[in-house]
Amino acid sequence: MKVVIDKLLEERVPFKRNFDLKSISYSCTGGEVEVYITPICVDQLMLVIRTLKENDIDYILSGGSTNLLYLDFVRYKCVVSTTYIGNVDYDSANELVVVDSGYELSKFVRQNLIRGFVGYEGLEGIPGTIGGALFQNAGAYGYNISDHLVSVEVLDENNNVQVLMKDDCSFAMRESIFQKRKLIILRAIFKNKKGDLNLAASKIETYHIARHAHQEWVYPNLGSSFVTTTNVYDSFGEGKVVYKSLLIIVKIITNNSIYKRLFRGKPNNKLRNRLVQYFFGLNSCENNYSHKSINTFVNKSGLSIDVIKYYRDLDKILGGDAKLENEIAYSGVSKVVDKASNQIFLEIVEEHPRIRSKLK
């Protein structure tokens, strides 16, 4: 690692040693990392990645960590963060925009709006960076980050710069080629379009209100934990006729205008959550999920193993259409600091392929 540190100092790449990840991670979880590197431009990012590879040092690449769970029972070797790589360049004549991987997605939505461009409204309120959004093919309300994408510039496995066109990226529901290959997203080009700005602004406001109504904002979390082809509550209980019938009744009650008015100040999904608890026995992890959605963990203890147990308990009762959306940081581990928690983690991962598939 000394060679890498010397290179960082020589090239004036910002970094910190023995850094506490819990202090900066979106989920407020994580232990220490020996070296936390924060390049400030694409050229520095490429330099860092190439140096790490040349010295055979495993690392974790992270954006805003808004979909990445760091573990506190291990110590990491190296984390590279793109959060300071945020250049954006608009070519209004051709309605193109070139944006770095570390640029904030929420800011990107607003920058497009004030320049007269539409088509990103449903991405309002999704936290994280452009690179993270492309990795996950993030989206909501019928919009996806890939909708207006032209191409992505990447650093490939052989340290060569490549340009992938949209069709090369294998985008699907919360899927992309970046999850299958270790490609480093450097920057992306989008083709924008003009449209009705008043309508776009109205949609952004509507989606913003909806997010605050249905998403956890008090405790640290990573948004929806599992993605399903239907609403997650509909994915529970395949073949459970009574549960399905009562769920319909609960939906009728909670969609009633009087009910919505009564709980407009603090909307929640407590009735649906209680229904799932009763039929599937989730009492053991009741303190680990949000009252707004059983599909969102809440970090109340600060312990990542509690989140892993929550993943396990939900995975047991979800239908076959579900897959874990959150990534779990388990590469580049230099030391196990809590053997008991690590053993529990390994047992859960072994028994649950959907969780194992999200190890990063």
pLDDT at 298 exceeding the cut of 70: yes
Contacts of 347 (CB under 8 A, 6+ apart): none
Q: What is the pLDDT of residue 71?
A: 98
pLDDT at 332 exceeding the cut of 80: yes
- CATH number, domain of 199, equals 3.30.465.10
Q: How far is it, in rounded angstroms, from Cα 1 to Cα 57?
A: 8
Q: Would you give the DSSP letter of residue 79?
A: E
Q: How far is it, in rounded angstroms, from Cα 222 to Cα 233?
A: 18
Annotate 13-73 with DSSP letters as a single string.
Answer: --EEEEEEGGGT-TTS---EEEEEE--SSHHHHHHHHHHHHHTT---EEESS-TTEE--SS
Domain membership flag for residue 54: no
Domain membership flag for residue 277: no
Whether the full predicted model's pTM is greater than 0.85, yes or no, is yes
Is 21:77 a contact under the CB 8 Å cutoff? no
Range of lowest pLDDT (144-158, 250-264, 268-282)? 250-264
Tokens of 345: 């983690």
Domain membership flag for residue 95: yes
Mean pLDDT, residues 221-243:
89
Instruction: Give the pLDDT band of residue 287 (cuts 50, 70, 90).
Output: confident
Domain membership flag for residue 19: no
Query: Tokens 């209100």 appear where?
Result: 209
**How many domains is the chain built from?**
1
Q: What is the pLDDT of residue 284?
A: 66
> What does the mean pLDDT of the chain come to?
92
| pLDDT above 70: percentage of residues in the chain | 99
- pLDDT, tens digit (0-9, with 9 covering 90-100), for 49-73: 999 999 999 999 999 999 999 999 9
pLDDT at 256 exceeding the cut of 90: no
Q: How far is it, in rounded angstroms, from Cα 220 to Cα 217?
A: 8
Q: How far is it, in rounded angstroms, from Cα 92 to Cα 210?
A: 31
Mean pLDDT, residues 177-187:
94
pLDDT at 337 exceeding the cut of 70: yes
Helix (H) or strand (E) holding 314: helix 304-317
Residue span of the structural domain in which 185 resides: 88-205
pLDDT at 286 exceeding the cut of 80: no
Q: What is the pLDDT of residue 356?
A: 95
Mean pLDDT, residues 202-214:
84
Annotate 151-209 with DSSP letters as a single string.
Answer: EEEEE-TTS-EEEEEGGGG--BTTB-GGGTS--EEEEEEEE-EE--HHHHHHHHHHHHH
Q: Give the torsion through C-alpha atoms of 92, 94, 97, 98, to 10 deg.
A: -120
Mean pLDDT, residues 108-129:
92
Domain membership flag for residue 170: yes
- pLDDT, tens digit (0-9, with 9 covering 90-100), for 128-155: 999 999 998 998 888 999 999 999 999 9
Domain membership flag for residue 175: yes
Q: What is the pLDDT of residue 283?
A: 64
Domain membership flag for residue 64: no
